[in-house]
Chain A
Amino acid sequence: MAPRDEDEYSRRGFFQLALGWLAGAFAIAASAAGAVRFLMPNVLFEPSQAFKAGKAEDYPDASVTFLEEERVFIVRQGNTFRCVSAVCTHLGCTVNRAEGGYHCPCHGSIFDDQGTVKSGPAPRGLDWFEISVGKDGRLLVDKDIRVAADKYLVLSAKA
């Protein structure tokens, strides 16, 4: 084998080497990217994030109702409704309703009635989801749409 001194690379040798390395690197990168892409599912068989929450009359005035299946609280105060997520923003545990707010059992975050963080490691307040009235007059919640923590649904006084 000829001694390989770095100074002795010819232009052709350099391009051959560069092409070889590039092709190899590309093949590995493409395989890795393909494998990661393969592991990212394109279709999810998960329950819809939008659901019907029943009639407004089902919720008594000044009440906080926990909807287990959906992991949300429906809060009614007079004619105003809001839907507060029961999923702790810290690490995803379900918060419990407690006096004056919500407590997370996993790492001790405490939220007030509005879902704002009072103490604990939660980085932000509990999510509020869009709540509206559907065509059939029932409440409609979409957990895919987060709203600001002051956007109540206000119903006309007859409800």
Chain B
Amino acid sequence: MNAPLPKSLWRMFQRSRVGRSIFRVGLPESNLERSQAMVSSFLLHIQPAKVNKHSLKPGYTLGLGLISLYLFFILIGTGTLLMFYYVPSTERAYDTMKDLQFVVSAGLLLRNMHRWSAHLMVLFVMLHLCRVFYTGAYKPPREFNWVIGVVLFLLTLGLSFTGYLLPWDQLAFWAITVGTSIAGYAPIIGPKVKYLLLGGNIVGQEALTRFYALHVIVLPAVAGLMLSVHLWRVRKDGGLSRPGEAEDTVERIPLEALPQNKSYGLMELARGTTPQVGKNPEDEVFSWPHLVFREMILFLIVAAVVLFLAIFWNAPLEQFANPIHPPNPAKAPWYFLGLQELVSYSAFWGGVVVPGLLVTALMLLPYFDRKRVGVGEWFARERWAAISVFTVCLVAAIIFTIIGTLFRGPNWGWVEPWKTEQPPALEEH
């Protein structure tokens, strides 16, 4: 009994018939086993056995995509638990929120975690999008994965929007009223879409039922599927982008050009018959432990931050939905306040045209800006034009969000946040 007890017990289990049937490869001790551990595990096999050193640099990816993924996991876990108490009824939804806050064990904590993860996920998906742009990682051959990423960003916004309606408090009711009215401004199909979303002409039970179904099954299922494709394509498109990769790539000989009466192995089918240039052994390290351990540590950090926020700051719950009086000012969550500020100039231009054009431009970006320069490095000087345009749009979005958040008061009038004096309250009817 020289080895510490837990370790030897674990080893004993691993080497037993049952242990071998589950894990195949135990904790790896040789390089062969390190590869085998990645390939033979369901949870690990979507990642390569070896990973480029550049992909592990925290300063390159900042871990933003992985953090978004972890937040999505936390949201699914906490959301599933919340579903055991929540009732999507206009009469009972608000009461079940109060129950979660005051009666259910850990209900408050779970709701807080769900809310904080949701806000963080919106933030980190946005940051991830910016990272991929500023490092030129959307350029060929990764164009389509960028498009999927934009779709995932929209799904994230859709999930958060459908989510904050569910408590059926004042924020919920007036957000659904304003949100579906914006949809009604879309040309031709707008009124139909609004009717479809609400399940009628008024914001009521039918609308809540629909947004509930969207929030707990439709959008998460679509997002989960797109997420799988997104991650799978990261590998199929050659792993994370890195500098010099464009010069490294050797045109693979298309299989069609090779003799057709020969059978080809899976590796040749998947990767062509040229050697993998840029995959020099000295550039790569084993995913186990270098990648896997970093990922685990990052998950611990994300979970710790979410827990910390959830313990010290409660998710707000406004008053019970009042279909007669909107709160004044009626403000959306921070990530929609830029849009709300735009909408306050014109619902059609600010709510339909500008967001529609921005999303279209984002999706088409990799098909126009496809020169493979500056891939894999932050703010490459050769990409000054694309970077300038993107940065101008980004700064504009941030400015509108700041205005909507801090500089708008009652009746969406201009207020200066450093002046504590409140404008006189409006007379009631």
Chain A interfacial positions (CB closer than 8 Å to B): 36, 39-41, 44, 46, 64, 66, 68-69, 71, 73, 90-94, 96-99, 103-108, 120-121, 123
Cross-chain contact B347 with A103 (CB below 8 angstroms): no
The answer to whether B344 touches A44 (Cβ under 8 A) is no
Would you call A68 and B182 a contact (CB within 8 A)?
Answer: no
Contacts of B346 in A (CB 8 A): 121, 123
Contact segment of B47-55, B112-120, B408-416: B408-416
Partner of A108, one of B192, B344, B347, B350: B344
Binary interface encoding of chain B residues 347-382 relative to chain A, with 1 for a CB under 8 A from any of its CBs, else 0 = 110100000000000000000000000000000000
Determine if A93 and B413 form an interchain contact, defined as CB atoms under 8 angstroms apart: no
Whether the pair A94, B196 counts as a contact (CB closer than 8 A) is no
Contact present for B200 and A97 (CB under 8 Å)? no
How distant is A127 from chain B, measured CB to nearest CB, in Å? 14
Distance of A104 Cα from B196 Cα, bound (Å): 26
B326 at the interface (CB under 8 A from A): yes
Selected from A44, A71, A91, A98, the residue in CB contact (under 8 A) with B182 is A91
Residues of B close to A94: CB separation below 8 A: 324-326
Asked if A40 and B196 sit within 8 Å, CB to CB, the answer is yes
- Contact call B201/A91, Cβ cutoff below 8 A: no
What 15 additional pairs, Cβ within 8 angstroms, besides A107-B343, A121-B347?
Answer: A36-B196, A41-B200, A44-B201, A64-B429, A69-B324, A90-B181, A92-B178, A93-B177, A94-B324, A94-B325, A96-B428, A97-B428, A107-B344, A108-B412, A120-B344
Residues of B within 8 A of A99 (CB): 427
8 A-B residue pairings within 8 Å (CB atoms):
A46-B201, A68-B324, A91-B177, A97-B427, A103-B426, A105-B326, A106-B330, A107-B340
Query: Are the CB atoms of B347 and A90 closer together than 8 Å?
Result: yes
Instruction: Return the contact of A71 from the options B324, B330, B345 (Cβ within 8 A).
Output: B324
Taking a contact as CB atoms under 8 Å apart, the answer to whether B206 and A105 are in contact is no
Q: Tell me, in angstroms, the Cα distance from A156 to B330 when the chains sit together.
A: 43
In which size bucket is the chain B interface?
Answer: 35 or more
CA distance A97 to B325 in the complex (A): 12
Q: How far is the CA of A5 from the CA of B343 in the complex (A)?
A: 55
Tell me whether A121 and B330 are in contact (CB under 8 A): no
Q: How far is the CA of A105 from the CA of B329 in the complex (A)?
A: 6
Query: Is the pair B426, A91 in contact by a Cβ cutoff of 8 Å?
Result: no
Q: Which residue among A41, A91, A99, A103 has the maximum number of chain B CB atoms within 10 Å of its CB?
A: A91
Tell whether, in the assembled complex, residue B328 and residue A105 are in contact, meaning their CB atoms are under 8 Å apart: yes
Specify which of B204, B206, B412 is in contact with A107 (CB 8 Å cutoff). B412
Task: Report if B161 contacts A (CB, 8 A).
Answer: no
Nearest B residue to A70 by beta-carbon distance? Answer: B324
Residues of A close to B196: CB separation below 8 A: 36, 39-40
Q: How far is the CB of B109 from chain A (nearest CB, A)?
A: 33
- A91's contact among B347, B413, B427, by CB below 8 Å, is which? B347
The answer to whether A98 and B200 touch across the interface, beta carbons within 8 angstroms, is: no
- Given contacts A92-B178, A93-B174, A121-B346, whether A105 and B412 have CB atoms under 8 Å apart is yes
Q: Quick one: closest A residue to B324, CB to CB?
A: A68
CA distance A91 to B340 in the complex (A): 11
Give the distance in Å from the alpha carbon of A69 to the alpha carbon of B327 in the complex.
17
